[in-house]
Amino acid sequence: MSGNNGAGLVRPSVQALKPYVPGEQPQGAGWIKLNTNENWFVSPSVLSAVLAAATHDLRRYPDPVCTDLRVKLSARYGIDSQQIICGNGSDELLTMLIRAIAGEGDRIAFTDPSYSLYETLSHIQNAAPVPVPLGDGWQLPVQELVAVNAPLTFITTPHAPSGTAYRLSDLEAIAAGCAGVVVFDEAYVDFGGDTAIPLLDRYPNVVVLRTMSKAFGLAGMRLGYAFGSRELIGALYRIKDSYNVDLLTQVAGCAALDAWDEYARVNHETAVRRDRVAAELHRRFGWRVWPSATNFILVEVDDADASEIVTRLKTEQILVRYFPRPRLEQSMRISVGSDAEMDLLLAALDKVVG
């Protein structure tokens, strides 16, 4: 047997890579999970559709281009089905966009802080990530992003992890000013804020990215979709995996779109609950809670130790998210769950903070 320990078999850039760290997924029952922005609701009609589809047909490969799902998406959003591609979560679509557009050494711009996967995927591609700082109030640095002159720019809108909504006029200024592709990552737009979809007809360099993990409660199914010009979407089809969205996920996506009105009602209720909890946190503890157009809130705990509060909440079987990075060290991000979950959170904070 060779004494080779595997050294040199992996690209040095991958060996040095800092991987994306997802939110904790607890084991066992009894947890209140407010750390990964999952929806607290899934429509019973979606569950019924998935159960009905779990037949002998699972032995067959799924539709490789998600035809039925794209037809429904086209009807819902008014976008030609040829300008739509579906993926195994929006994360897969991010990977495809980088593979299709950014070559080795090419700049990839994004706001800082933002979704940390952008930077990880950039390094995997041997591209050059360029984080552009947000303003003091999380304002979008329009001119600074344009000035990077990157082949690929990612904008999370509404922003994560702050929850800030951005004006369509600012999004358009970025689309108009950038010669490269601009991706508007709209994971949370169903809870508030402007969508960049109106820009698609005017700017062939724009891609709008959506997910069913947040507004549709399908994080466990992994389903994302992207809108763009035929040229850009066609490029993604050329590099995508063969059968990247499984049969049950396609069924769940179609059923979720059929339950659009039900989800819209629930997501409105979530937004109302978000604002109620934000106001209550400020009243009880004097903390700053940033205005949010998402299904989460970013809470600055001032002189308290945010990391310690998160740890103490965990002893109460409540998970919220802490980011040990500049500008976020004194903050915690809290997903908005059900009324009962949020009331238990407030009670637990009364106990652990005092």
What percentage of the chain exceeds 90 in pLDDT? 91
**Residues 199, 309 within the same domain:** no
CATH of residue 203: 3.40.640.10
Whether 223 and 311 map to the same domain: the answer is no
Could you count the other beta carbons within 10 Å of the beta carbon of residue 44? 10
Whether residue 269 sits in one domain with residue 132: no
Q: pLDDT for 233-261, tens place per residue? A: 999 999 999 999 999 999 999 999 999 99
For the whole model, what pTM was predicted? 0.95
- Provide the number of structural domains found in the chain: 2
**pLDDT 10s digits, 104-118:** 999 999 999 999 999
* Short-list 244, 252, 257, CA closest to 62: 244
What is the rounded average pLDDT of the residues 295-304? 94
Q: Is 66 a member of any domain?
A: yes
Which tokens go with 98? 């980088």
* Among 242, 258, 274, residue at a domain's last position: 258
Query: Is residue 268 domain-resident?
Result: yes
The answer to whether position 235 is within a domain reads yes
What integer pLDDT is reported at residue 3 of this predicted model? 55
Examine the fold and report which residue of 202, 231, 258 is the final residue of a domain before the chain moves on.
258
Residue 52 has pLDDT above 90, yes or no: yes
Residue 87: give the domain boundaries: 44-258
What is residue 155's predicted lDDT score, i.e. its pLDDT? 98
In a domain, 7, yes or no: no
Q: Which residues contact 293 (CB under 8 A, 6 or more apart)?
A: 158, 163, 164, 165, 188, 189, 191, 192, 193
